[in-house]
Structure 1
Amino acid sequence: MAQIRSKRDGGGDPMPIELLAAPMLKTGPEDVAFKVLYCGVDHTDLHQMRNEMHMTTYPLVPGHEVVGVVIELGSEVKKFRLGEIVGVGGIVGSCGECSSCTSNIEQYCSNRIFTYNGIYKDGKPTQGGFASAMVVHHKFVVKIPEKLAPEQAAPLLCAGVTAYSPLRQFCGSKKGLKGGILGLGGVGHMGVQIAKAMGHHVTVISSSDQKREEALEHLGADAFLVSSDEAQMRSAQESLDYILDTIPAVHWLEPYLSLLKLDGKLLLVGAPKSLQFDPVSLILGRKTITGSYMGSMKEAQELLEVWAEKGLTSMIEVVKMDYVNTAMERMERNDVRYRFVLDVAGSNLHE
């Protein structure tokens, strides 16, 4: 099996990703083996490569928005068939017994196993989708609808479900809500489409006018708010039921909390290192700041079906595996609209 790995040089710094050969894991009775077709590129991949979370084990095989075609099934796997298109997101295992697991929110299991840079129960390291093939327990594999192009499905498995989960959890089936999407990147641009599909009035909140046309004309947002424009921000105070905050960098929350109505919710999914806010804003408006982590397997399957049924499309740039280091550099400077997807099967990977 071919893999694209990041490793350390003699000085301890991560080296660029390079191609290496590695043995493929054996398919157990409850596993699905699949040839990788496409894999999304996420900011988390870059953070892990650089050990910015101080938990990386090298050599590292990134990739957790993985779509492939089934090539082998364990003897006890009944819900998949050979040749079927499937997907894998951010985790490939959990304890299966805790309250989170039994409630179908296994992403909150304290013993969850990450798709890469994790450890299986037998002590072997997990390896992600920057590889020619993967073997994953069937409970952590989803079906890709036939109507949905596999390259379109890949970003939904992390970025998409990260936006979908809190909107489903905190907004339910309510229509007519007024929501804000803060930050128009990989997660944010999907959040706009998901909120619109839920029947919400959607305002994109961005620091400049640069993405106005994309937000309104291409993604279907109802309004666009420039956060650096004090007059616009004042006129929009107490107008939103919720804000989905997708910004991964440190930022001051106060301007955005002022946009929320009584009982409004700020939904954090961007995971910045720190945030600042005035608690008086929460107290006087009975407002809530809450977080949401990835999404469950059930939610991922739901989102894929919604995406296919409504004919939605992600804004992606498909590139070959030999472009991955350049893609990482461009992603770091936000030079992508809005998600890189690696064409793994169409790349020259020699086993």
Structure 2
Amino acid sequence: MAAKTDYKFQGWAGDAPDSIEGKLKWIDYEPKEFAEDDVDIKILYCGICASDISTLSEGWMPMKDNWPQVVGHEIVGEIVRVGSNVKNGLKVGDVAGVGAQCDSCLKCKYCDDHKENYCHGGMTQTYNDKFHRTSPGSKSWGGYANYWRGPSHFVFAIPSQVDPAQAAPLLCGGATVYSPLKQYGAGVTAKEVGIIGIGGLGHFAVLFAKALGARVTAISHSDHKKEDAIKLGAEDFLITGENVPDAIKGRERSLDLLLCTSNAPDMPMDAYLSLLKPGGNFVLVGVPETGKLPDISPFTIIMNNVHIGGSAIGSPDTIREMLDLVAEKNIQPWISKYPLSKVNEAVPAMVAGKARYRFVLVNEENGGKM
């Protein structure tokens, strides 16, 4: 039995779908048993991700017996405990973080190939999941909390040049768009990149596509975010309005890569795909709560030789590479901070779409800075 700590694991938990209305409750909970490849993190910052809202609201699926649930998978803090088998150089006192994945089998061909986010046995999510490799059956708990415990393989040192508060939303939101941008050659083979949706994910996508050397077209339904998109680095802004086919006339076959961060259930897929050059790629990272995509004509795909794909978060190696790029290029995510104690104001504000472009909870009692 692992030694007990002198600190408690406590966090803001939802116990029903209406928790997103400002009804999260502060609870004590038991983390997984400490394994010798684990670390404990004293949480300083935690980003609020749209996934948190979709989980708590049961927008994606019923929670069933998974209540109560402490969400949050954009966690940055100070390491306060390190197991004897931690091999990636992490030590007590380091500022480090964890994203949406906190474990995998670490032995299948995908894990061996540094694609742990596509583990054959399935990833363990940082919250709303169960551990399998160590402490089988133990519940995973997220970052709207004072401490986090989990496998060090999925914990990343935050470069000293990067603001730890800004680093938090990078660990899920940033990695989710950086990974496909790199995979599909943004700035290398994909010189012309379009970003659909200028929200939390989309703002990261514009920042990263620009930093990777692509020419960026921001695509939104109105001009409401045009000024922001240009400040973020977009060279062009396409307003789709209510009639997307008409709006894109003259722009057909102009883009090498389209990254879709929208979760709209009624996306005009055929119109979007017509923006791609032959051989181009449409990559989906937003997830409609319906769980379905709109209809697509097979002729659009066949006659234009375009490809539809998806991408899930980022592997540990990809996240480290992303953090290095952020440090090198001085990339500045746009964040707004809320004290963790005011989480029941922050979550409804997120639901209301007030984030420009990411909210970060600050654990002031642990030393987080507003």
Q: TM-score by structure 2 length?
A: 0.89
> Equivalent residue for 2:347?
328
Q: Does 2:56 match 1:60? A: no
Cα separation, 1, equivalents of 2:247 and 2:221? 12
- Assess, with a 3 A threshold, how the Cα gap between structure 1 residues 203 and 294 changes in structure 2: closer, same or farther: same
Aligned to 1:247: 262
Conserved in 1, the CA contact under 8 Å of 2:187 and 2:215?
Answer: no
Matches within 5 A, 1:65-144: 65-78=74-87, 79-109=89-119, 110-121=121-132, 122-144=136-158
8 Å CA contact 1:320–1:347 kept in 2: the answer is no
Q: Contact 2:41–2:79 (CA<8 Å) still a contact in 1? A: yes
Rounded to whole Å, the distance in 2 between the matches of 1:337 and 1:42 is 13
Q: Which residue of 2 aligns with 1:48?
A: 55
Q: Where does 1:6-21 land on structure 2 (aligned, <5 Å)?
A: 6-8=14-16, 14=19, 16-21=23-28
Distance across 2 between alignment mates of 1:264 and 1:278:
16
CA distances 1:146-177 after superposition (whole Å, capped 9, x unpaired): 00010010111001000011111121661671
Q: Distance in 1 between matches of 2:190 and 2:305?
A: 21
With structure 1 as the length reference, what TM-score do the two structures score?
0.93
What percentage of aligned pairs have identical amino acids?
A: 36
Q: How does 1:182-221 map to 2 (within 5 A)?
A: 182-216=196-230, 218-221=231-234
Do the aligned partners of 1:265 and 1:287 also contact (CA within 8 Å) in 2? yes
Asked if 2 retains the 8 angstrom alpha-carbon contact of 1:320 and 1:346, the reply is no
Structure 1 residues 24 and 262, CA, compared in 2 at 3 Å: closer, same or farther? Answer: closer
What's the CA shift for 1:310?
0.5
| Greater Cα shift, 171-180 or 203-212 | 171-180
Whether contact under 8 Å (1:196, 1:220) holds in the other structure is yes
Confirm or deny that 1:258 pairs with 2:274: yes
2:315 is the alignment partner of 1:296: yes
Aligned pairs, number: 345
Distance 1:158 1:37 in 2: 16
Separation in 1 of the partners of 2:47 and 2:18? Answer: 24
In structure 2, the residue matched to 1:238 is 253
2: distance between equivalents of 1:17 and 1:252?
A: 36
Structure 1 stretches of 5 or more lacking a match? none
Classify 1:182/1:13 alpha carbon distance in 2 versus 1 (closer, same or farther; 3 Å): closer
Aligned to 1:226: 239
Q: For each residue in 1:187-210, what CA deviation from the matched residue of structure 2 results, as whole angstroms up to 9, or x when unmatched?
A: 110100111111100000000001
- Give the C-alpha shift of residue 347 in structure 1: 7.4
Q: Distance in 2 between the 1:59 and 1:308 partners?
A: 37
Contact 1:24 1:133 in 2 (8 A): no
Code of the aligned partner of 2:13: R
Gaps spanning 5+ residues in structure 2: where?
1-7
Select the residue among 249, 268, 284 that pairs with 2:284. 268
Matched residue type, 1:299: T
Cα deviation for residue 235 of structure 1 reads 2.0
Question: Which stretch of structure 1 is more off in the superposition, 120-129 or 198-207?
Answer: 120-129
Match of 1:150 among 164, 172, 177: 164
Partner secondary structure for residue 153 of structure 1? helix
Inter-partner Cα distance in structure 2 for 1:348 and 1:312: 24
